[in-house]
Chains A and B, each alone.
Chain A
Amino acid sequence: MFKNGILRHAVVSAGFALAVSTTWANAEQVPINGTVQSKCIIMTDSAGVYGNPNAYTLSTAAADGGADAIVRIDVTLADAYKAHITAPTEFSSAPSLPDLPTFAGNTEVQTVSDATGMGTYESGKIEQGMTDIYDLTATGSTWFKTSSTVTMGGSKAFPGGNYTAMVTAECIAK
């Protein structure tokens, strides 16, 4: 009787274990596949705003009530890309202007994710007119800050309306 009880208990336990293992074996597994590819990603952190410190000037300087445009570029492959950042050279949309505006602008590295590998980005940049070229020799993130100032010719006033200008951020494989 005792032996039968032990036997029954063993059979029930084994059956339960088998059922559980069978349940596990039948569990659905959904794979998540991914491929990591080296790449460059351009992100627009801040589009920038023109302030209007006087009648004939538009400026992105904070002191003038504006905000600089900030672009972040991430690269996942070292020494594979160059960043070309171009400050605005014209308005993409504006009211009818009384004279020719003059554009000035500058781009500089604001922040880097790797101070050791990217510390020379600013000093090593090449300036070609309104375009600044950076050699992205290290992997990681770089934030570029672009300022822009527009002055109306003859110190004439900017007519009221909306003004839009473009900063161009390019990532070009070497």
Chain B
Amino acid sequence: MKLLIVMFMLLSSVGILHAHEMTPTYPKLRPSHLDNVYVTTMEMFNKRDDVEFYEIGVFDKDFNPIPFVTSYKVFNLKYLGHVSFDVYIRKDDVSNAEFICSKSKLRKEDTKRTAVNSRICSRIK
């Protein structure tokens, strides 16, 4: 029984080592310090030790890209690193913007024989 519990804990911890998460689920846009530009703040946590880079994207309901500005479209997020970033969207695009997504970027030399791409999309409300 103890062995089973230890194995379960080990397996659980192995799973937790490779996680990608982004919050909030439903971000809200608010007016920024710039005229006709809205902003929202997102947070990410990288528990994937095989991923160091993530790409941010803003999309409409059909996943067509929407113009946006953030500090870095592709940014480096170390293993177990947190990051908080602002996403700026023009007022004209706010009504079309539906999703803010983060996608893992795997380096070619780091990939194994198969690999998993992860993408999390929050919905703007």
Tell me which of A4-12, A19-27, A158-166 binds B: A158-166
Does B26 belong to the interface (CB within 8 Å)? yes
The distance in angstroms between the C-alpha atoms of A163 and B114, with both chains bound, is: 8
Indicate with 1 or 0, residue by residue over A102-123, a CB within 8 angstroms of chain B CB atoms: 0000000000000000000000
The distance in angstroms between the C-alpha atoms of A163 and B24, with both chains bound, is: 36
Given known contacts A169-B119, A174-B123, is B111 in contact with A37 (CB within 8 Å)? Answer: no
Given known contacts A37-B23, A41-B19, is B121 in contact with A69 (CB within 8 Å)? Answer: no
Task: Report yes or no: A44 in contact with B18, Cβ–Cβ below 8 A.
Answer: yes
CB proximity of A174 to chain B, nearest CB, Å: 7
Taking beta carbons and an 8 Å cutoff, which residues of B are in contact with A?
14-16, 18-26, 47-48, 50, 99, 106, 108, 111-123
Does A80 belong to the interface (CB within 8 Å)? yes
Identify A39's interface contact among B23, B99, B113, CB under 8 A: B23
CB proximity of B96 to chain A, nearest CB, Å: 16
> For residues 87 through 142 of chain A, which have their beta carbon under 8 Å from a beta carbon of chain B?
88, 92-93
Chain A neighbourhood of B99, CB < 8 A: 172-173
The list of the 7 closest CB pairs from A to B, nearest first, reads A173-B123, A48-B114, A42-B118, A44-B18, A44-B116, A172-B121, A170-B119
Does A43 belong to the interface (CB within 8 Å)? yes
Given known contacts A45-B15, A172-B99, is B116 in contact with A93 (CB within 8 Å)? Answer: no
Does A60 belong to the interface (CB within 8 Å)? yes
The distance in angstroms between the C-alpha atoms of A81 and B48, with both chains bound, is: 21
Identify B114's interface contact among A167, A170, A173, CB under 8 A: A167
Task: Report yes or no: A80 in contact with B25, Cβ–Cβ below 8 A.
Answer: yes
Chain A neighbourhood of B121, CB < 8 A: 170-173
Task: Report yes or no: B117 in contact with A168, Cβ–Cβ below 8 A.
Answer: yes
Identify B19's interface contact among A43, A80, A167, A172, CB under 8 A: A43
The distance in angstroms between the C-alpha atoms of A148 and B116, with both chains bound, is: 13
The distance in angstroms between the C-alpha atoms of A69 and B113, with both chains bound, is: 11
The distance in angstroms between the C-alpha atoms of A94 and B112, with both chains bound, is: 12
The distance in angstroms between the C-alpha atoms of A136 and B97, with both chains bound, is: 23
The distance in angstroms between the C-alpha atoms of A71 and B47, with both chains bound, is: 14
Task: Report yes or no: B113 in contact with A48, Cβ–Cβ below 8 A.
Answer: yes
Given known contacts A93-B108, A93-B111, is B118 in contact with A38 (CB within 8 Å)? Answer: no
Identify B118's interface contact among A93, A148, A169, CB under 8 A: A169
Task: Report yes or no: A44 in contact with B48, Cβ–Cβ below 8 A.
Answer: yes
Task: Report yes or no: B113 in contact with A41, Cβ–Cβ below 8 A.
Answer: no
Task: Report yes or no: B113 in contact with A40, Cβ–Cβ below 8 A.
Answer: no
Task: Report yes or no: A39 in contact with B15, Cβ–Cβ below 8 A.
Answer: no
The distance in angstroms between the C-alpha atoms of A43 and B116, with both chains bound, is: 9
Given known contacts A43-B15, A173-B122, is B25 in contact with A166 (CB within 8 Å)? Answer: no
